[in-house]
Structure 1
Amino acid sequence: MNLLQGKKVLVLGADSIGRGIAIRLAREGASIAVLDHTLRAATEVAEAINANGGSALAYAAAFDGQIGATLKMAIAALSGVDVLINNVLPIPTIAPLEDQPRAAFDEAFARVQAAICAMQCAVPAMQLAGAGRIINVGHRYGEGINEGLAAYNAAAWSLVGLTRTAALDWGRYQITTNLLLPLADSPEVRHCHALRPRVIDLMIGQLPLGRLGDPVEDVGGAALFLASDACCFVNGETLHGDGGQHLAGPVLNPARFV
């Protein structure tokens, strides 16, 4: 339907969720720049988009507060930016709080710093365009924490405050900032399933829709709404692209059983 025809999109993070979002938005006509801490991952996403008639560029950038130079390069290559996807949360470190290494917190908050830097770099271009969409990709552990994930929980919660603050500060520029909390059929979940199939099947069975989300069709579809003109009056909101997981009460933490 080309809902994003002519739009320029920055996607930080080329994991399964970032890949799914990038592919879905490219399908709707957007030009994409994919940034990841490994060039290989970003390139694989860009090549998948280009092979299907889309337009995508790939960049390697450390996910920390020094990402600005690469972001500015990508924005210049796109000739602006209309949509920013911050998909930067790390792979969780699993340990009780007293045993969580300081390095886990350092990495988690460095990635939040990358999201902040990306937002600050994108806003001037969005101001020039007269509007913009910022989508921070978080996790349900930014609403209800789970044990053994202190650094990850803290980073996920920080994205909540960051999203709401940006929604207030930048709404005057017709820039909307929203938080997407997805649940996807990812390699991480499949790894957990291979180790503990009964536990993961039980977790999936708790979900209202009884299945995990497809990264392109389901999670990408939720991101498409937040990126589109239909979202021009939705600001500071949390969108659960999780098939209703947030309604299911306490949901098993698969990492606890690995």
Structure 2
Amino acid sequence: MKRLDGNIAMITGGAGGIGKGMAMAFVKEGATVVIIDINEQLGLQTLKQLQEFAPESIFIQANLTEHDKLAALVNQVADKYGRIDVLVNNAHASKMSSIEETTQKEFDLSFNTGFYPTFYLMQAALPYLKESKGKIINFASSAGLHGDVNQVSYAVAKEAIRAATRVAANEFGPFGINVNLIAPIANSPGMIQWAEENPDYYNSMLSKIPLRRLGELEEDIGRVAVFLASTDSDYITGQTIMVDGGSTKLR
């Protein structure tokens, strides 16, 4: 048997980047995946690839900043498949700026696309995850752990997600639900663009990664997500898993 046979997994931001990498890894392990993304064209392209392995997978176009619609989104998935086994809160948008230049608009963007959808989707999915004794995978960042410059709105939102995840691990644990975080450094389209715009900073960052490379979307980040979504991780909860080539060593 494949490790995720029969599982129904929801992945936000699943049309591209890390989200797509996880979605591809999931379907190859037997899961049916619901990718949720605002980009319809990219979502439909990714869906075709997913359906080669999992024909019942679907794409739902959604704007995660419409927080009052998130519960209906979860119910839509549960109504279609009769269950939800895995919730992956991956989507997050932000703008780089220094503390001196950061405005309320930047904080609103980061929290409205990252923290609030993570919170409200966990809340809405809880009844279904209780039934399946399911898994939640949220996303943190070394930006929050290290206090990266020009990343204040992103770093703060990611640390808020980490805090909510730890609370959820304590509250949901008695129901048999595991709640963990991945903090990646990945070869995503956004990273590639950032590297092109900031080559010196990028090369400096790369030189500080012990493994001297970025994580591959499916093979590195996706495989760790498969582990956290599977029964192999049943005794792990409330943890931040650094999938960053050794850049951060938590103690």
Instruction: Verify same fold: TM over 0.5.
Output: yes
Equivalent residue, structure 2, for 1:232: 234
Q: What residue number does 1:61 align with?
A: 62
The CA distance in 2 between the partners of 1:218 and 1:226, in whole Å, is: 13
Shift of residue 52, structure 1, vs aligned partner: 4.0
Contact 1:85 1:136 in 2 (8 A): yes
CA contact (8 A) 1:27 1:54 kept: no
Instruction: Measure the CA separation in 2 of the matches of 1:196 and 1:96.
Output: 16
Moved more, 20-29 or 183-192: 183-192
* CA distance 1:210–1:55, change in 2 (3 Å): farther
Compute the displacement of 1:103 (Å).
1.5
| Structure 1 residues 106-137: Cα deviation after superposition (integer angstroms, max 9, x where no partner) | 121112111111111211111122x1100001
Cα offset, 1:29, TM superposition: 0.1
Residues 103-112 or 212-221, more deviating: 103-112
**In the superposition, relative to structure 1, how do residues 170 and 106 fare at CA in structure 2: closer, same or farther (>3 Å)?**
same
- Equivalent residue runs for 1:1-258 within 5 Å: 2-14=2-14, 15-64=16-65, 65-66=67-68, 67-90=70-93, 92-111=94-113, 112-129=115-132, 131-247=133-249
Q: Structure 2 counterpart of 1:33, which letter?
A: V
Cα deviation for residue 225 of structure 1 reads 0.9
Q: What are structure 1's unaligned runs of at least 5 residues? A: 249-258
Letter in 2 for 1:9: A
- After superposition, the CA RMSD in angstroms is 1.7
The two structures have a TM-score, normalised by structure 1, of 0.90
Q: 1:195 to 1:98 in 2, by over 3 A?
A: closer
Do the aligned residues in 2 keep the contact of 1:29 with 1:54 (CA within 8 Å)?
no
Aligned to 1:251: none
Determine if contact 2:97/2:150 at 8 Å carries over to the other structure.
yes
- 8 Å CA contact 1:23–1:49 kept in 2: the answer is yes
Kept in 1: contact 2:17–2:217 (CA 8 A): yes
The ranges of structure 1 where at least 4 consecutive aligned residues each deviate by more than 6 angstroms after the TM superposition are none
**Alpha-carbon deviations, 1:12-41, whole Å to 9, x = none?**
112300100011011100011011122233
The Cα shift of 1:93 comes to 1.3
Q: Is the 8 A contact 2:77 2:84 kept in 1?
A: no
Q: Deviations over 1:47-86 (max 9, x none)?
A: 2111345541001111132222222212222221101100
- Contact kept? 1:18, 1:87, Cα under 8 Å: yes
Aligned residues: 246
Partner secondary structure for residue 230 of structure 1: helix
SS of 2:248's equivalent in the other structure is helix
Gaps of 5+ in 2: none
